[in-house]
Amino acid sequence: MLDYDVKIQRALVAHPRFSDARSGDADYDLEEAVGLAEALGVAAVEARIVPIREVKVSNFFGSGQIEDMAAAIQALALDMVIVNGELTPIQQRNLEKALHVKVIDRTGLILEIFGLRAATKEGRLQVELARLNYERSRLVRTWTHLERQRGGQGFLAGPGETQIESDRRQLNDKIERIKTQLEDVRRTRDLQRAKRKRSQERIVALVGYTNAGKSTLFNRLTTGGVLAKDMLFATLDTTHRVLPLPSGQSAIISDTVGFISDLPTQLITSFRATLEETLEADVLLHVRDISDPLSARRREEVMDVLNQIGAGPDHGQPIIEVWNKADLLPADERETVESLAERARTEASLLDAFVVSCLSGAGVDDLLDGVEEALTRGDEVMDVTVTPQAFSAHAWLHQNGHVLEEAPGEGGKIKMTVRLSESDAGKFRSKHQTLID
């Protein structure tokens, strides 16, 4: 009976390997595609690498390859094909016709997962916007295709064009509506962001490839409550919590959506606002699965996205790399990465590295010391006496510094002890040197 209610899709996952691709990586790419299928709740019954020498315009794959797939679909009673690459609408349709099952590509798959996972209003709107943009981009392509076919028919619009034109108008209307709704939601979030900024709390943002362990670390460092799961894109929304620091002070830490290779452009655009929250961070924590054979490649991909949005060391934002899942490394490899991390820490740069296991907690205390050190690096603690004539300095210090002590002095003066960042200390000194004790 239950079989009728819970019908799990059985999929063939095909990873197209192009002749120029690093062939050794194909196995891992395929593994990731299987992970994506599972994140959607699909059973990846069959997974295979399909070598592509030349992409066929109409079907993507060669005819022999399609026959092989059809045979597997029959033999294993599959009802879906996932192509870990990008299909044109025509290729997708032709493959569906040839294979008699639903066919989706990598972008479609990721959009489905995001749709499934989005929990907040903003998340849902962002995914919907991405999906509509994806649909629209495919409409345009189909349209130019039809137009070419019809070439020479002059100004008489065929029925195809009228239909597509009206579809496109409808999509555009929907997109505009969603954008307006998103702006409303974002206004609220901007207010919260401004409040955080005003509160002068230091902000630490977690970034990293999906499944690297960001949420596990977040929960370990805070009171928790974020879903951490062996599932790609377990987290889609940004959460903020208080991060207690070793000295007894605190900061704010945020957990957010993970990155992935070839993130559909529609998604990057829609999630830009979420990603851009990392810009407000005083320090970025880049969580990496150091046991992942593709760790280095994924690091580059994350750094690329950070660069695109203007975050990271190239933009003067310090970054600490968290080399996570050290427990999965053999002892000798662990020693090697330990010494590499130590070297990164001793070289004066904007990049530090700590080897940890967020699962066992090993190394996390050292990491926290490093975070606090990075947050307060260059800070100055100043004793200041604000005179009534220079009273604007009082508000400025509250706004830009962390006021540790404050007491009224004689003659309307105020005595303050303030912690300021290096640059704010410089600004204050150049303007109010006489107020500094």
Residue closer to ligand GTP (CB basis): 50 or 305: 305
Residue closer to Mg ion (CB basis): 257 or 290: 257
Return d(Cα 400, Cα 418) in angstroms, integer.
Answer: 10
Look at residue 206 and give its three-state secondary structure.
Answer: strand
Q: Using CB under 5 A, which of the segments 192-200, 228-236, 264-272, 303-311 binds Mg ion?
A: 228-236
Size of the site for ligand GTP (CB under 6 A): 23
Task: Give min distance, CB of 238 to ligand GTP, in A.
Answer: 11
- What does residue 81 show for φ and ψ, rounded to 5 degrees? -125, 130
Return d(Cα 302, Cα 256) in angstroms, integer.
Answer: 13
Inter-axis angle of helices 106-117 and 26-39, nearest 10: 40
Return d(Cα 240, Cα 288) in angstroms, integer.
Answer: 20
Question: Which helix (H) or strand (E) is 83 found in, with range?
Answer: strand 80-83
Listed residue (264, 220, 241, 223) closest to 368, CA to CA: 220
Cβ atoms < 10 Å from Cβ of 54: 8
Binding to ligand GTP in span 306-325, by CB under 6 A: 324-325
Contact predicate 210/271, CB 8 Å: no
CB under 5 to 8 A by kind: which of ligand GTP, Mg ion, none does 241 bind?
A: none
Encoded tokens for 49: 């690498």
Task: Give min distance, CB of 246 to ligand GTP, in A.
Answer: 21
Binding to ligand GTP in span 228-257, by CB under 6 A: 228-230, 232-235
Residue 328 as a binder of ligand GTP (CB under 6 A): the answer is yes
The conformational region for residue 251 under phi > 0 = left, psi -120 to 50 = alpha, else beta, is beta
CB under 5 to 8 A by kind: which of Mg ion, ligand GTP, none does 17 bind?
A: none
Residue 234 as a binder of Mg ion (CB under 5 A): the answer is yes
Contact predicate 299/288, CB 8 Å: yes
The binder of ligand GTP chosen from 357, 402, 424, 435 (CB under 6 A)? 357
Residue 278 as a binder of ligand GTP (CB under 6 A): the answer is no
CB under 5 to 8 A by kind: which of ligand GTP, Mg ion, none does 273 bind?
A: none
Contact predicate 356/367, CB 8 Å: yes
Residue with tokens 């996390």: 364
The binder of ligand GTP chosen from 123, 258, 312, 370 (CB under 6 A)? 258
Contact predicate 129/178, CB 8 Å: yes
Size of the site for Mg ion (CB under 5 A): 4
CB under 5 to 8 A by kind: which of Mg ion, ligand GTP, none does 256 bind?
A: none
The binder of ligand GTP chosen from 38, 68, 96, 327 (CB under 6 A)? 327
CB under 5 to 8 A by kind: which of Mg ion, ligand GTP, none does 213 bind?
A: ligand GTP
Residue 126 as a binder of Mg ion (CB under 5 A): the answer is no
Look at residue 192 and give its three-state secondary structure.
Answer: helix
Task: Give min distance, CB of 300 to Mg ion, in A.
Answer: 21
Residue 235 as a binder of Mg ion (CB under 5 A): the answer is yes
Task: Give min distance, CB of 14 to ligand GTP, in A.
Answer: 23
Q: What is the SS3 string spanning 91-139? A: HHHHHHHHHCCEEEEHHHHHHHHHHHHCCCHHHHHHHHHHHHHHHHHHH
Residue 211 as a binder of ligand GTP (CB under 6 A): the answer is yes
Residue 215 as a binder of Mg ion (CB under 5 A): the answer is yes
**Which residues are at the interface with ligand GTP (CB under 6 A)?**
208, 210-216, 228-230, 232-235, 258, 324-325, 327-328, 357-359
Residues that bind Mg ion (CB under 5 A): 214-215, 234-235
